[in-house]
Amino acid sequence: DQQVKQNSPSLSVQEGRISILNCDYTNSMFDYFLWYKKYPAEGPTFLISISSIKDKNEDGRFTVFLNKSAKHLSLHIVPSQPGDSAVYFCAASLIQGAQKLVFGQGTRLTINP
């Protein structure tokens, strides 16, 4: 039973445009959300996170938006660059089990020149 869902297995975006990756969750007890990025033959690396007390967190070209009422978060990348081509995983955790992350299935982002 997937508690964190990324319904788009892949996304293709033109270089310079905005990339929007979406994630939905079912457990209302999740309190902290993260995005990880994964290149082929490498392990995932932490990208950006957001606490449930916020609705937006920005880090350079990356912004994460959280809509708690809809149990939805999104990652915006603007402008998109070829090096952003990777698999992006959404993850969530509970306060009490903060070390235990539940990941989505991942979305493969391809940035076209």
Partner 1 sequence: DAGVIQSPRHEVTEMGQEVTLRCKPISGHNSLFWYRQTMMRGLELLIYFNNNVPIDDSGMPEDRFSAKMPNASFSTLKIQPSEPRDSAVYFCASSLWGRTGELFFGEGSRLTVL
Binding site for partner 1 (CB under 8 A): 2, 6, 32, 34, 41-46, 49, 89, 91, 93, 97-106
Which run of H or E residues covers position 80?
A: none
Distance CA 112, CA 63 (A): 21
Which CB sits closer to partner 1, 14 or 51?
51
Q: How far is the CB of 95 from partner 1 (least distance, A)?
A: 9
The full length of the chain comes to 113
Which CB sits closer to partner 1, 40 or 83?
40
Q: How far is the CB of 83 from partner 1 (least distance, A)?
A: 19
Distance CA 44, CA 66 (A): 21
Token couple for 38: 């994964």
Distance CA 21, CA 99 (A): 24
Q: How far is the CB of 6 from partner 1 (least distance, A)?
A: 7
Q: How far is the CB of 14 from partner 1 (least distance, A)?
A: 26
Which CB sits closer to partner 1, 11 or 78?
11
Which CB sits closer to partner 1, 85 or 106?
106
Report, in angstroms and rounded to the nearest whole number, the Rg of the chain calculated over CA atoms.
Answer: 13
